[in-house]
Structure 1
Amino acid sequence: MAEDQRNSPKLLIGIIGGLGVLVALFFAYQWFTSPVEELAPVYDTVASEASSQPTSEASTEETAASEINLQEASAVEANHATQSKPLVTDDILTAPIPENASLAKEEQARLADLQEQLAEQEKTLKAQHADADQLIKLKEEQLKLLEQQLAQEH
């Protein structure tokens, strides 16, 4: 190429435009292949929570309750994802014990991993239960405050 062709603004714009099209195609591919169905219930829950909030003065309890609702919604979605495939099946009880030592070690490692997953799931469920209890408490306080506001208005 000649010196004039390498410094041509048309060539530079063409290269930048081509790269822009490639980036746009990449993001379009990512967008079309993303699982939208999994995210829809969370957004619906958030939208319904936002629309059900009173327009009057928002207290810190209400803000905390909405944050907990968001956390619970994401935890419920994660719980649904883990419930689709069971961690423990009945064939564990009837499975034969491997006679080869290396296979037995692999089986022990697999069962230890399974036990860790179950312990983690138990921990998550206990945390969700505690969050639900706290949410119920905050909702009761919110109802009391709303009843007081209604009583003051009348």
Structure 2
Amino acid sequence: MTLDQRNSSKLLWAIIGGLIVIVLVVLSYQWMSQNQSAEVTPEAQLLSQPAAPAAKAKAEPAVQLEEVPQQLVSEDILKQPVATNATLAKEEMAKLEDLQAQLDDQAALLNAQHADADELIRLKEEQIQLLEAQLKQQ
């Protein structure tokens, strides 16, 4: 091999090595930025928790005698600082609006269940009165 051929292969390996290093740096940067965004997302998980009780409330029967109140949102959300970045603030507002919509839907569902339960009680009372009247006639 001549000197030029050896130097060209070394140059080729140097270029390939440099490209590999650049690719690794870019991938590690993306991985690190993804981890940082994952550290911010527990707030999003906290905000998305009320979706499960809303689905659970739909599956429950209409008549419930006693229901233990369940805390949907922790109180520490009120103490968290508001984002100073406009984009983050808009995202936070969107999350809070979604949460409020879920809470409104759940409140409407519970009110409908309450109305259904009242209607069932009224109908059962009428049925009992009719049965008592039938027993008196016999």
Normalising by the residue count of structure 1, what TM-score does the alignment of the two structures yield?
0.44
Larger Rg: 2
Normalising by the residue count of structure 2, what TM-score does the alignment of the two structures yield?
0.49
